[in-house]
Amino acid sequence: MAEGKIEWTRKHLLGLREFSREEIELILDTAKSFAEVNKRSIKKTPVLRGKVVVNMFFEDSTRTRNSFTLASRRLSADVIEFTKKSSALSKGETLLDTARNLEAMGVDLVVIRHNAGGTPKLLSRSIDACVVNAGDGFHEHPTQALLDVYTIREKFGSLDGLKIGIVGDIANSRVARSNVYAMTKLGAEVTLIGPPTLMPPIGDLPVKVSNSFDDVIESLDVVNMLRVQFERLSSNPFPSKREYTRLFGLTEQRMKRAKDNIAVIHPGPMNRGMEIESSVADGANSLILKQVTNGIAVRMAVLFLVSRAPE
């Protein structure tokens, strides 16, 4: 779909559940134009000159935070890097008061990552600035899903009819949730793969479920590996790490049974040797570093579009 076929109307990007296929494709098409900017010797465009973006990250992050910072600067915006430790939040100020004070200083866009689901939505109802969700609790991580489907579309041309397996700790993954929404709306057939102890209730999600990686590996066009989020677990959901790797790890042996052109993606950080062997993560089928590159263009597109939304 060509950019401009629909009008962008969303001031915030809080999640992908309510997005239409056309809206997702508009973001991807806009990102494609910004990807060209990132290939120039001078990687700058003036579309957000005079705008101020604040990165409010309440959870540790390397890829997402740096990606948003680069995206903002390549759009010529001014960037404030917010940290809780050096803010009035450490003295008892509320998040909303902090956000309102930042807005009073002229902030136009707020990028927020928070361990409590729904925080970006609460913020969007309380301030006039645009709000972009960079990951909230167990809820969603929409820009990760967008860069994932962008990377898949770049390789295959379309997601229509593709068989995609999302493998690992589904229960604790906001990436998995956002990817299910994005991938299925773009026409892919998604299977969630993992042990029953890491599989949440599926409800009305348009997905299949498998507790056996070996049963489905041969049919997949894309495998989206996830790490086990031990920091979110209150007990061990499987006998041992070795047993998990044997059943759900993307090993060289398992890759021999996969399609020759299968695409391997991972949101990071990776537990090398557990959910994925290093030789696979760094192999010919891996698009993991491509995801990182594409993340900048996708986030440029998101920041650009929400900043242009009608009041």
> 84: which residues sit within 8 A by CB, 6+ positions away?
58, 90
Cα distances (angstroms) measured from residue 306 to each of 80, 197, 207, 311: 18, 38, 30, 10
Using alpha carbons only, how large is the chain's radius of gyration in Å?
19
* pLDDT tens-place string over residues 120-159: 999 999 999 999 999 999 999 999 999 999 999 999 999 9
pLDDT of residue 2: 42
3-class secondary structure for 54-117?
A: EEEECCCCCHHHHHHHHHHHHCCCEEEEECHHHCHHHHCCCHHHHHHHHHHCCCCEEEEEECCC
Q: Where are the alpha helices (DSSP H) in 189-275?
A: 213-216, 241-248, 252-255
52 near 21, Cβ under 8 Å?
A: no
For the question of whether the overall pTM of this predicted structure is more than 0.75, the answer is yes
* Phi-psi map region of 203: left, alpha, beta (phi>0 left; psi -120 to 50 alpha): left
Between CA 2 and CA 26 the distance in angstroms is 8
Between CA 216 and CA 210 the distance in angstroms is 8
151 near 164, Cβ under 8 Å?
A: no
* pLDDT tens-place string over residues 167-202: 999 999 999 999 999 999 999 999 999 999 999 998
Question: Model confidence at 4, in pLDDT bands (50, 70, 90)?
Answer: very low
Structure tokens at 60: 């540790």
- pLDDT exceeds cutoff 70 at 86: no
* pLDDT tens-place string over residues 160-169: 999 999 999 9
C-alpha count within 13 angstroms, C-beta hemisphere, residue 251: 14
Alpha carbon dihedral 106, 109, 115, 120, in 10-degree steps, equals 100
- pLDDT exceeds cutoff 80 at 243: yes
pLDDT of residue 90: 59
